[in-house]
Structure 1
Amino acid sequence: MKSYFRTEIAGMEGYVPGEQPKLENLCKLNTNENAFPPSPAVKRAIAELDWERLRRYPDPLADALRDKIAEVFGLKRENVIAGNGSDDILTMLFRCFTSPELPMACLYPTYSLYPELAKMQGAAVIPVPLAPRTFELPGDLLKRVEKANLLIITRPNAPTGNSFPLETMRELCRNFDGVVLFDEAYADFADDNCMEFVKEFPNVIVSRTFSKSYALAGLRLGFAVGSPELIAGMFKVKDSYNLDRMTQALGLAAFSDRAYLKECSEKIRTIRKDFTERLENLGFQVVPSQTNFVFAAPPDRDGERCFRALRDRAIIVRYFRGPETGDYVRITIGTPKEMDRVITALREIYANPGAN
């Protein structure tokens, strides 16, 4: 059959989202959703929505939301753009800064959507392999990415969960001749972030999502901040009405409740610390995490066996095949009760080497 697709699209495999399983007594810890509900302010905002206004188009610029984001981070409205999830932000970035003549660079392993977006633009991908087991940056990072026009640093990184020294990031921004995107989906669970770099460097963009720390994965909302020139360029390729009225209202309510954000993030950090220690007591190697998940290698370093054995017990975690990642499973930080269930299951699995 004749193909009507562009060569780039015909050759793509496409991004595969995390599984949304339907199992009884499910413990779902595979897609890094928040262990706790959204801010109560979101519930109030839903009750206050005027359903009649849904016949009108939403604000195409999301100005109220952008103003609040700018206020919190000490920026101006023109420094901020909002999108239908951070994936929408990424699509804008790839439209703006990549092409067959403009390669992009990203870490490896990292978020697997990046190469797929590059393929859509016909852009070459320059992978930067992280160190085995520690997943640290190579010392010659700048040399490796010098031909790229867009460099993505996922910080903290996914699926590994670790972060990279802030001063190293600053030097990278200072010396890279292109646009640096810090994808900070998990920044609210980390010890530091790169948001202030937007004020220091004209080539830096920082993206955030509402799916993780704000517990709004079902809403689809993200944003990016950068210099007015970079943000203005992104507006040129943004879909006309990319954020509906409800998303803007609920996002504003969630973002405005800074106390609730801090409270939930600290709870997750506490649970993460306790869970990490318990995993290590079972013989797991756990990559130091700055996220709401852990990347952990079981005692036999057979990540697939661990994944399948947990699945048999209706505990769903994430497994990534490959020589760099196959030793590990990625486990979302859930509630204390969910973490207890995981530990109980793992004790059973690894107390009996023949257990499945």
Structure 2
Amino acid sequence: MNNYFRSHVDAMASYVPGEQPPRGTQIIKLNSNENPYPPSPVALAVLQNIDGERLRRYPEPFGEEFRQAASQVLGVPHDWIIVGNGSDELLNVVIRACAEPGRKVVYPMPTYVLYRTLTEAQAADITEIPYHEDYSFPLEELIAADGCVTFIASPNSPSGHVVSINDLRKLASQLSGVLVIDEAYTDFAQENALALVEEFENIIAIRTLSKGYSLAGLRLGFGVANPKLLQGLFKVKDSYNIDAIACAVGAAAITDQAYKNACVDKIKASRTQLATDLKKLGFRVWDSQTNFLLVQPPQRNAEYLYQKLKEQKILIRYFKQPELEDKLRITVGTDEQNHTLVQALSNLLETGD
């Protein structure tokens, strides 16, 4: 058989996303941190009224309609914003622009495993620094590693914790490379790092409309950074990476902050209740500033519970990797979905079957 691929591509493992059951499947899906509520009615109205002329022509190459809307909402200049086909594309753009063989990409573990996949595809060196057992931030180790790119997910997945602004500020000030602050879950958090972008030209804060805005299927993310940093990223992005529909719908969604905030408030309340219910069952539950919980079953039989729930058409996330083999990540669903999950777990813990 012919070998068509570069040696490091042959050697790397593919990123494995959460299971996606076929549409129409009767299942409680709590494995991919999707928002359980529908998108903004304003955004849906834009989608339903897309003009065919917008589809005939190429879209604006920099997603200007969305940049202008995000600029107004966030209070940052529009030329400080880069738009991507999901935030994952922007993570890839940073790696393509900055990383190469012999240069290090650094991040603490456990975290979003796509960082490793993207780095391996670029054949850059990887330095993974373990989080402390309590998920306290390994600041000095990250500074010492001094990567060409350092990824920090804040809030982090799967732990749900936020890295303090002071730690991020100190890290940025000591790095010679780019600091990527991945804020995919920032809509559910008490603070964010956007102000640091104005202080440091080596920081890019990356966000998504998949979580807080209920638009995971749209694939729209954006980054905020100094134009000096963006100019290099624009060189390697695809020419028309944002389609016209995503740009128009995303602009409407980010403008409807009242709707997004109402949904986020419901999720936060449900998160608190779900954590309380799981603790009553004996689970260890880590504090979370996201739309999911990291939990440890009382019998540490995480894989068993994951499989049994799947048989009952309830999907949660299990990671078979170091530090996570005895834990589960559970997306916060509607109160009804959460109640069904808790009842199923209670029965499994009681009967062992």
TM-score bracket for this pair, using the shorter chain length: over 0.9
Residue type at the aligned position of 1:208: R
Partner residue in 1 for 2:220? 221
Residue type at the aligned position of 1:196: A
Residue type at the aligned position of 1:46: L
- Give me the whole-angstrom Cα distance separating, in 2, the residues matched to 1:305 and 1:341: 18
Partner residue in 2 for 1:141? 141
Q: Secondary structure at the match of 1:163?
A: coil
Residue type at the aligned position of 1:252: A
Moved over 6 A (4+): none
Q: Secondary structure at the match of 1:283?
A: coil
Matches within 5 A, 1:282-293: 282-293=281-292
* Contact 1:294 1:332 survives alignment (8 Å): yes
State the shift of 1:24 in Å: 5.1
Normalization by structure 1: what TM-score? 0.96
Residue type at the aligned position of 1:168: D
- Give me the whole-angstrom Cα distance separating, in 2, the residues matched to 1:139 and 1:81: 28
Q: Secondary structure at the match of 1:128?
A: strand
State the shift of 1:91 in Å: 1.1
Partner residue in 2 for 1:172? 171
State the shift of 1:72 in Å: 2.1
Normalization by structure 2: what TM-score? 0.97
Q: Secondary structure at the match of 1:196?
A: helix
State the shift of 1:54 in Å: 1.2
Q: Secondary structure at the match of 1:125?
A: strand
- Give me the whole-angstrom Cα distance separating, in 1, the residues matched to 2:251 and 2:293: 29
Residue type at the aligned position of 2:155: P
Matches within 5 A, 1:16-165: 16-22=16-22, 25-132=26-133, 134-138=134-138, 140-146=140-146, 148-165=147-164
Residue type at the aligned position of 1:337: E
Partner residue in 1 for 2:348? 349
Partner residue in 1 for 2:2? 2
Instruction: Give the unaligned 5+ runs of structure 2.
Output: none
CA RMSD of aligned residues (A): 1.3
CA distances 1:219-261 after superposition (whole Å, capped 9, x unpaired): 1000001010111111111101101111110000101101111
* Contact 1:78 1:232 survives alignment (8 Å): no
- Give me the whole-angstrom Cα distance separating, in 2, the residues matched to 1:304 and 1:48: 45
State the shift of 1:161 in Å: 1.2
State the shift of 1:127 in Å: 0.3
- Give me the whole-angstrom Cα distance separating, in 1, the residues matched to 2:112 and 2:99: 17
* Contact 1:24 1:314 survives alignment (8 Å): no
Structure 1 range deviating more: 300-309 or 43-52: 43-52
Q: Secondary structure at the match of 2:337?
A: helix
- Give me the whole-angstrom Cα distance separating, in 2, the residues matched to 1:158 and 1:323: 15
Residue type at the aligned position of 2:34: E
State the shift of 1:142 in Å: 3.4
Q: Secondary structure at the match of 1:41?
A: helix
